[in-house]
Amino acid sequence: MSSLRLALSLLLLPATDLLADSFERDDALKLPDVVISANRQVQARNDSSAANTVFTRDDIDRLQPSSLTDLLSRVPGVQVARTGGRGSLPGIFMRGTKSAQSLVLVDGQRIANTTSGDSGLQYLNVDQIERVEVLRGSRSVIYGSDAIGGVIQVFTRRNAGQGLQPRLKLGFGSNHTWERSLGLSGGDERTRFNLGASLDETAGIDWSHASFPSDRDHDAYRNKSLSLNLSHRFSDELEMGFNLLDSRGKSEYDNSAGRYDDVIKQSFGQKPYTDYTVSSASAYIDAQLNEVWQSRVELGHSENRDTKRDKLSADFSVFNTYRDSINWQNDLTLDQQNSLILGGDWYEDRFHGSTTYNENSRWNRAAFIQHRFKGEWFSTELGLRRDQNQQFGGQNSWSGTLTLPVNPNNDVLFSYSEGFRAPTFNDLYYPDTQYSNPDLQPETSKSYELQWRSQLSDSTQLEASLYRTDLRDAIILDASGKPQNVATARINGFEAALKQELFGWQGNLGLSIIDPRDRNSGHTLARRARRTLNLDLDRQFDQLSLGASWQAISSSYDAEDNKNRLPGYYLVGLRSGWALNREVALSLKVDNLLDRRYTRAWYSYDDPGFQNNQPYREEGRTWMVGVTWTPQL
């Protein structure tokens, strides 16, 4: 089925008939007005109970982000705090929650490192991405642990149509940055494939202001990525497929030790770097068993490997985590008004490294059910999930949504959802019991949300959310460095997304206002700005496209004690594209046009000999030119 037919079906079909046929998934990934991640099935964005933002491949090409984190920073309610230049560890704060409290998926597979909880988003190459979906708010009923703040799902590149379609891209920019990628997609009515590879390299910048003399060099970054998608339709009722994404390379960084006396500087100079790998592979069987029952089984494997080394010494450390998973989901269309989701999840996490943990594996199994009713006057969604974990036992999660269609162009949604996050291997099993606690329980949350969705006019669309999240048993380190379930937090927030077309210009405005507080101390949670504003303006002039971005971030605090204030800032960017002909296109962008100096994080080291609280540097003004060749075969 063509993308046009799929788009029309979204407008014409009732919700219970809405694209139960998952064979349309690859086509749906091209469309901006559908969402897959909310319930692991294709549905119209307006029919999803989750506040969501979708970036298609067309959006990625238009916005020209240098990284996935650059793209995510445009989402209302999402803040990104990097600790340096490209390849640096980002903090992802979704609706005021921390990085480990938001779930990251690649083609349905979890990719988070089980020792630290970080997902390695900085290593995912945007040229290998077809689509990014961001769900704001807890989705623990569907996904279980980690989905307190929301869900970020990355879909790898897909086939763009029948026949062979090659592509080649070359870019060069500031800091001796090179971007190279190539790909080939093809297929027919039954078989589709896409194969892509990319290589990015940059000399980078010096991430820190104060460090060892030996470490005052530019921190380079290298990324090699490979993606593969293959699917075959055996009949109208049965399809099988395989997805792969592998990103690996080298990322240099500063030792974040601060500045101290000359003798120690000379004795302990460092040039550290990380050899990393983030990979995800999955296979699926999708079957339409009868008119009302569709079943999908996915098997997955993901790896997050990290080896830290030093050019000036033989020191190294290895932290490799692996995850195997199985998901079985059944979508039942009971009648024109009622539908049901029944499913089960199982995954096992394993750790291998240079440190011997007290435990190196654990499993989690779960069952979930969600019922949806769509009526003329109101709609409801009610879900329940039960997780059973080898370490902490059982955990129940509930969610419910009431949707009231005020008129054909306005909907109001009232939602309640529960979430939880399992402690990491570092929290539970680190060999030094001073820095681990096997008695930790999961962090839990309760969220309340009011949404308003409005099509104000043919050229104006508004989505707004008012929400509150209460966190309990949050894990923090006590004075000795031991993790404890002692913290509670309250996050109040408002966010809005406005799409407006005016005089041929397409505008996308995102606003977020949050008040994230530690309920014990009353302090603002670290690295969360209270106000953020994003604006993108784009226009197409025949073969020429022009665009501009403006981002404003208010001040925040680097630590929970609220002593070190990070000033607010704003950034301006420009971009353009020129299609020379059907096969060749040029691109140019300038980020941080005004060369603003700013920081989103500071580093410190708990030693009286060090000068603490030094800001991480961010890149100043940068530029990138590129050429894309898509020959017609």
Per-residue pLDDT of 42-86, as tens digits, reads 999 989 999 999 999 999 999 999 999 999 999 999 999 988 889
- Mean pLDDT over the full length of the chain: 89
How far apart (Å, rounded) are the C-alpha atoms in residues 191 and 432?
Answer: 52
Write the CATH number of the domain with boundaries 162-629: 2.40.170.20
Task: Specify the pLDDT at position 124.
Answer: 96
Stretch (H or E) spanning 125: none
Give the pTM: 0.93
Is 622 in contact with 597 (CB distance < 8 Å)? no
Is 244 in contact with 276 (CB distance < 8 Å)? no
Count of alpha carbons within 13 angstroms of residue 473, beta-carbon side = 13
How far apart (Å, rounded) are the C-alpha atoms in residues 540 and 538?
Answer: 7
User: DSSP assignment, residue 13?
Assistant: S
Q: Is the model's pLDDT at 391 over the cut of 90?
A: no
Is 330 in contact with 367 (CB distance < 8 Å)? no
Task: Specify the pLDDT at position 213.
Answer: 61
Q: Is the model's pLDDT at 163 over the cut of 90?
A: no
Mean pLDDT of 455-484: 90
Is 276 in contact with 230 (CB distance < 8 Å)? no
- How far, in Å, are 97, 175, 564 from residue 488 at the CA level? 12, 43, 22
| pLDDT digits 0-9 by tens, 329-387 | 999 999 999 999 999 999 999 999 998 888 999 999 999 999 999 999 999 999 999 99
Task: Specify the pLDDT at position 332.
Answer: 97
Task: Specify the pLDDT at position 262.
Answer: 43
Task: Specify the pLDDT at position 179.
Answer: 97
- Which range is most confident: 234-238, 478-482, 600-604, 623-627? 623-627
Among 251-265, 373-387, 551-565, which is the least confidently predicted range? 251-265
How far apart (Å, rounded) are the C-alpha atoms in residues 133 and 112?
Answer: 17
- What residues does 466 pair with on adjacent strands? 450, 494
Q: Is the model's pLDDT at 7 over the cut of 50?
A: no
DSSP 463-520: EEEEEEEEEEEEEEE-TTS-EEEEEEEEEEEEEEEEEEEETTEEEEEEEEEEEEEETT
Task: Specify the pLDDT at position 564.
Answer: 86
What is the chain's alpha carbon radius of gyration, rounded to the nearest angstrom? Answer: 24
Q: Is the model's pLDDT at 273 over the cut of 80?
A: yes
Q: Is the model's pLDDT at 596 over the cut of 60?
A: yes
Task: Specify the pLDDT at position 215.
Answer: 62
Task: Specify the pLDDT at position 410.
Answer: 95
Spell out the residues 6+ positions from residue 422 whose beta carbon is closer than 8 angstroms to its own: 145, 146, 364, 389, 391, 392, 442
Provide the pLDDT confidence category of residue 275 given band limits of 50, 70 and 90. Answer: very high
Residue with tokens 């909907």: 411
Provide the pLDDT confidence category of residue 497 given band limits of 50, 70 and 90. Answer: very high
Q: Is the model's pLDDT at 209 over the cut of 80?
A: no
Mean pLDDT of 453-469: 95
Task: Specify the pLDDT at position 83.
Answer: 84
- How far, in Å, are 323, 361, 424, 494 from residue 352 at the CA level? 12, 9, 14, 42
| Percentage of the chain lying above the pLDDT 90 cut | 71
Task: Specify the pLDDT at position 15.
Answer: 39
Closest CA to 148 of 389, 613, 473: 473
If one compares 162 and 95, the residue with the highest pLDDT of the two is: 95
Mean pLDDT of 183-210: 90
Residue with tokens 């897909």: 158
Helices (H) and strands (E) in the chain, counts: 7, 35
User: DSSP assignment, residue 616?
Assistant: B
Q: Is the model's pLDDT at 606 over the cut of 50?
A: no
Task: Specify the pLDDT at position 477.
Answer: 79
| Percentage of the chain lying above the pLDDT 70 cut | 91
Please list the helix, strand and coil fractions of the chain in percent, rounded to the nearest 5, in that order.
10, 55, 35
Q: Is the model's pLDDT at 290 over the cut of 90?
A: yes
Among 266-270, 358-362, 400-404, 445-449, which is the least confidently predicted range? 266-270
Q: Is the model's pLDDT at 590 over the cut of 80?
A: yes
Provide the pLDDT confidence category of residue 211 given band limits of 50, 70 and 90. Answer: low
Tokens of 134: 């961001």
| pLDDT digits 0-9 by tens, 298-341 | 999 999 999 999 888 888 899 999 999 999 999 999 999 999 99
Provide the pLDDT confidence category of residue 214 given band limits of 50, 70 and 90. Answer: low
- How far, in Å, are 143, 248, 346, 387, 394 from residue 324 at the CA level? 15, 20, 8, 17, 20
Q: Is the model's pLDDT at 431 over the cut of 90?
A: no
Is 258 in contact with 235 (CB distance < 8 Å)? no
Q: Is the model's pLDDT at 92 over the cut of 60?
A: yes
Q: Is the model's pLDDT at 266 over the cut of 90?
A: no
User: DSSP assignment, residue 213?
Assistant: G
Provide the pLDDT confidence category of residue 18 given band limits of 50, 70 and 90. Answer: very low
Mean pLDDT of 561-587: 95
Q: Is the model's pLDDT at 2 over the cut of 50?
A: no
Task: Specify the pLDDT at position 308.
Answer: 92
If one compares 560 and 40, the residue with the highest pLDDT of the two is: 40
